[in-house]
Structures are given as structure tokens and as C-alpha cells.
Chain A
Amino acid sequence: MTEAVDRTSPEKLLTPVLSAFWDEDESWTLDVYRAHGGYRGLAKALAMPPDDVIAYVKESGLRGRGGAGFPTGMKWQFIPQGDDKPHYLVVNADESEPGTCKDIPLLLANPHSLVEGIVIACHAIRSNHAFIYLRGEVVPVLRRLHAAVAEAYAAGYLGKGALGDGGDLDITVHAGAGAYICGEETALLDSLEGRRGQPRLRPPFPAVAGLYACPTVVNNVESIASVPAIMDRGKEWFRSMGSEKSPGFTLYSLSGHVARPGQYEAPLGITLRELLQLGGGCGRGTGSSSGRRAGPRPPCSPRSTSTSPSTTRASWAPGRCWAPRRSSASTKRRAWCGP
């Protein structure tokens, strides 16, 4: 395993999908998005009955990217069908957990992946109104979302008849007002209802009584943004990456005293050691000997660096690194090095 790591090049370890064209001019525009296959997945999804889309996403194995790693297709399946209530999709774009910084660059550079994912998800759960709850403190991202949603309306992906037989679809971009707790999905729903953002008791779960006490799916930005690529390139392609229980790709965030902090899109299951090697290792500019000789140490290495960071929350400091032993799958995929 570790030998294989050394021989594997970044080209093979990394799999840019959502981030594939962030380096292009005006990557946030509809034209650039479409030039990279954008809105093809939507066409396929709209040609399928909603329940088939749910089944397809379920079979892809996509898990939520917001922290808990709940299977996305299963969450959609929980929405009661044939009830007479409106259904809502609420996208959690409240990213504020220290060290987690992937949704914000994703929305800045590629907001249409989210918009397309929303249309697919709304078709699947039979919803005619979606909300993007963006934390308020990121005005440049808000501008890009306003622009992307306006472009999608103009192109007919949103608005009257956007879902064909499923009817119209509206997206409301909603800016929060500064409250970390609103990242928690039920606090977010209270906040979106114009209240203080305080978590609700469960049950009832949002799938039964969410926004305005109606069936509601709350998903993270990246979860929804990953759906178009799955529809377009196929669940087998998606499952060819990552592990059996956590297939696919995801954005890893490296920050702190690492040579190259930033976003690394890679299959789930990449190891901490591989990520840190891609990041150029720990110790940038610390000026202290402890900083310079920082890096994965026991118990992180060598044995447990085969631990998948994608299935843990993990953090290192020189001579010290720990990974909570029993965290659930695909939680926050972030890592940092201490001084």
C-alpha cells in the first residue's frame, strides 16, 4: 500500500470532476459549463420517471457531502409520494465549519453544477420550489449564484414547464445573516422560515415535516452538484472510484501549515499520507524545527495512514496526529496541519 503510494503520481490520485474547469475564464457561466458537458445529465434525468432517478442515484452509492454521509438517494426516497403537500428541496450552502472550505469555491467557480443538480433532484422528489440557503458572509458567491440562476431561467432550465410533466420549477437564492448553527439542517429550516436558527427536535424528520411542515430534502451543495455528472457519465463510472460503501469523488480541503493548501478533488478512500504528499507536506514557513519536521507520525503512519481520511475527520500536528476512530463515513473531508 505505502509503496504503491510513492509510485502513484498526482495525475492518477486526483480526479477533478466538479473542479475540472475552474481554471478556465468565466468558468461560472452557462456557456463554459455547457462546453464541459453541462446540462446533459439533466436531459437524461428528465427522460426518466422520477422514481427511476431516485433509484439510479441510490445505486450510484452517492453519500451526503455535508457531514453525516447519509446516502442521498435514500434521503430522496423518504419523501412521501402522492400526498397533496408541496415538496421542497433546500440546499445547505451554509459552509462554516473551520477547515471546511469546498462549497464556497465550488459555488464561485461552478455554480451551474448546483443548479443542474437542483433541477434533477426536484424532478426526482417532485418538487416545484428549491431554496439555496447561502451563508451571508460570502457576497462574491451570492453574485455568482444570482447570475447562474438568472441564466438558467433565461435558458428555460428553470421557470414555467421546466420539469415537463412535473410542471414549473423555481429557485430562490436566500442569504443567511451570520449564524454557524444554521448549518444544522433543522436550524437552517427555522432560519429559512424567518426565525432564530435553532435546531428542532426530531422526529418529525424534514422528509416528513420540514420547511413549512412539508416534506423537505436538505442536501449539501456538493451532494447535489455531484448528481449531474452521475447522470451524465453513469453510476458505473461513479462506482469505479472510491470504495464499495463510499464510492465516487469528492473535494478535499487542506489548510494550515501545509506547503500547498487548497482543494484536491480525489476519489474517496485516498489516504491522509497521499493527500499530505500532494499538498507538499507540512511545515510551511513555521520557522520552528518542530514545524519543519512535521508530518504524519505514528499513530497516523505508516500503518494507519492507510486509514482513509475520506471516512474520518482528521487533524495532525507535528509528532501528534489523530483521527477519531469511529466517525461515520464521508464526514467533513478536511485536513490541516498545526504549527
Chain B
Amino acid sequence: MSAHETARGDVQLGIPPMPAPDYPPEVRTRLETDAAEVISRYPDSRSALLPLLHLVQSEEGHVTRTGMQFCADVLGLTTAEVTAVATFYSMYRRRPSGDYQVGVCTNTLCAVMGGDAIFGALREHLGVGNGETTADGKVTLEHIECNAACDFAPVLMVNWEFFDNQTIESAKRLVDDLRAGNEVIPTRGAPLCDFKQTARVLAGFPDQRPGSVEAGGSAGPASLVGLKLAKGERGPETVVSPRHPEVPHEEPVTTHASRHDAPQPSSASDPHHPAGPVTEGDES
């Protein structure tokens, strides 16, 4: 447990706090109606817990003790059971956060394509660390894991809409615009709404804004490269041809181009396990 995490309030030590305050009656009534609809989608009410945590997050912007108490009440669970689940999943925030959650993918593909650099630049630009919010309450910066958009690397997610193929400059512009209240358009996804509204969609209530489903078009450019090639639309010329005379490629495997390339087991280093073709016999 780092001091940083403790400072984030992820773990509470000491005497347990008093019972959580209840929602105001009208809020509770409204949420109970929503909760009933969510619960009706499942044969077993407990399955509604994840959507209900999204729902209470859409009420207050993060999962509060009041929200967890509410989930426990409507599902007949203990608050301990609800807390155990709420603390397991990374999308539930446990303290007040910004209107816009800016997640920078720093997993493998994005990292090598510039995601690490973008994250570092934004941290400096915004003056906040991972999981922290700017003083104006607008932007919460977070590093995130692979968001299944590696062919659009490096990727930023703002309130879980895709901002593909970012650069340090475009990312800085993006957060500046968010803080200034200017409209920003995701590369794939709907015009941004605030985090609470996003959480409501996640609870399973379809986005009612006109055009929100259509926004962003059918597919991003990277999703279409194979289809375009198949239709005879040529992209840039092929760079690599292993037999092309200008391209050196027959170096022995035991030499590696950079220090970062740790030697890998190969047929040369590991003659007992030649890296031959995986044959049909290997499958099953």
C-alpha cells in the first residue's frame, strides 16, 4: 500500500463511520423506479448489482456510501457484499471526480506508439497525477488499460468515448477544450456528455440524445483497411519484402538490433525446440 493510495482514500481504517445518510425521498423514489426496471432484466436480482452501481454513480458522480446502502436495500444484500463488489471494478469511482474522465491507454500497443509520452505530458500540463482531478473539477486524469482499440493507438478515452490516434499536442488541446467548455468531438462515439450521463447509459438506459447512436459513423479508418484492400483499393506501397534486395533481413537471429531486444529462444538458441511451423497436429 503506497502512501499515495492511502491518500486517495481507497482504504478506510479506524472506527467504521456511522450509517450512510439516505437519499432525499424524491431521489430515492426515482432511483427505486429505475432500479426496478434494471432488476427486471435478470432472472436473479443480484445480477443487477453492477448496473445499479453504475446507476448510483450516475446520481452523484461517484459511488458513495449512500449509493451502496441503496443497492444493498433494493437487492437485499449487506453493505459489506456491495462494498466488496464496488471496490473490485475499476470503473466505479470512490471519491468525487471530474466531469470528464480522461483515460490515457498506457498498455503495450499504445505505450509503444506514444501513450506513455502522452500520459506524462498531460500529467505535467494539468499538474495532476494519476487518478487526480484538476482544481476546477473538470478533468480527472487516469491511465487505463488496453481498450480494444490498439489499431488506433495511441488512444484516449474521455468518458469512455474513443479519441483515436492521439498525439501529445492533440491531447493537450483536448483537455484544454474540455476545461474551457468547448465542444470536443470523439473520433468514434457520440458528442460528449458528462460522466453522470455516461454512467446512466452504462446502467442500461439507452442514450436518448438524437444522433447519439449514429455519431462517429460505421467504422473508424483502421477498421476498414482490410476491407479496402480486398476491394482493390491500394494503400501505400508495401514497405517490407523479405526478398527485396534493399531490405537486409538475413542476419543471424543471435544478433539483435537493440539492447532492448532481449534474446528470445529461437531455433538457433534452442535446437531441441525448433520454431518450425505450427502444424495441424499441434492443434486440438
Number of A-B contacts (CB under 8 A): 362
Let me know if A99 is at the binding interface, CB within 8 A.
yes
Let me know if B17 is at the binding interface, CB within 8 A.
no
Question: A99 to chain B: which residues have CB within 8 Å?
Answer: 108-109, 146, 150
Interface string of A2-40 (1 = CB under 8 A from B): 100010001100111001101111111000000000000
Whether B148 contacts A277 by the Cβ 8 Å rule is no
Let me know if B213 is at the binding interface, CB within 8 A.
yes
The closest CB in chain B to the CB of A102 belongs to B148
Question: A300 to chain B: which residues have CB within 8 Å?
Answer: 275
Question: B149 to chain A: which residues have CB within 8 Å?
Answer: 101, 104
Let me know if B134 is at the binding interface, CB within 8 A.
no
Question: B220 to chain A: which residues have CB within 8 Å?
Answer: 105
Interface string of A63-81 (1 = CB under 8 A from B): 0000001000000000000
Which residues of A in the span 104-144 have a Cβ within 8 Å of any Cβ on B?
Answer: 104-105, 108-109, 129, 135-140, 142-144
Segment among A43-51, A159-167, A193-201, A225-233 that sits at the interface with chain B? A193-201
Let me know if B5 is at the binding interface, CB within 8 A.
no
Question: B85 to chain A: which residues have CB within 8 Å?
Answer: 194-196
Interface size on B, residues (CB 8 A): 110
Let me know if A327 is at the binding interface, CB within 8 A.
yes
Let me know if B267 is at the binding interface, CB within 8 A.
yes
SS of B interface (majority): loop
**Cβ of B165 to closest chain A Cβ, rounded Å:** 10
Which residues of B in the span 137-178 have a Cβ within 8 Å of any Cβ on A?
Answer: 144-153, 157, 159-162
Whether A298 contacts B150 by the Cβ 8 Å rule is no
**Cβ of A25 to closest chain B Cβ, rounded Å:** 7
Whether A191 contacts B50 by the Cβ 8 Å rule is yes
A143–B50 alpha-carbon span in the complex (Å): 18
Interface size on A, residues (CB 8 A): 123
Segment among A52-60, A174-182, A202-210 that sits at the interface with chain B? A174-182
Question: B56 to chain A: which residues have CB within 8 Å?
Answer: none
- The answer, among A147, A175, A281, A303, for a CB contact under 8 Å with B50, is A175
Question: B190 to chain A: which residues have CB within 8 Å?
Answer: 139-140, 143
**Given the contacts A98-B109, A196-B85, A298-B253, A14 and B284 also touching, CB distance less than 8 Å:** no
Question: B75 to chain A: which residues have CB within 8 Å?
Answer: 194
Question: Footprint of A on B, CB under 8 Å?
Answer: 41-44, 46-51, 53-54, 75, 84-85, 88-92, 103, 107-109, 112-113, 144-153, 157, 159-162, 186, 188-190, 198, 201-204, 206-207, 212-232, 235-243, 247-253, 255-258, 261, 263-268, 273-278, 280, 282-284
Which 8 A-B pairs rank lowest in CB-CB distance, beginning with the nearest? Answer: A281-B240, A281-B239, A329-B283, A194-B49, A262-B225, A264-B226, A177-B89, A178-B90
Question: Footprint of B on A, CB under 8 Å?
Answer: 2, 6, 10-11, 14-16, 19-20, 22-28, 69, 86, 95-101, 103-105, 108-109, 129, 135-140, 142-144, 146-147, 150, 172-180, 191-197, 212, 243-246, 252-257, 259-266, 273, 276-284, 290, 293-308, 311-312, 317-320, 322-323, 325-330, 334, 336, 338-339
Q: Could you list 5 examples of A-B contacts with CB < 8 Å?
A: A98-B150, A99-B109, A105-B219, A261-B222, A299-B268
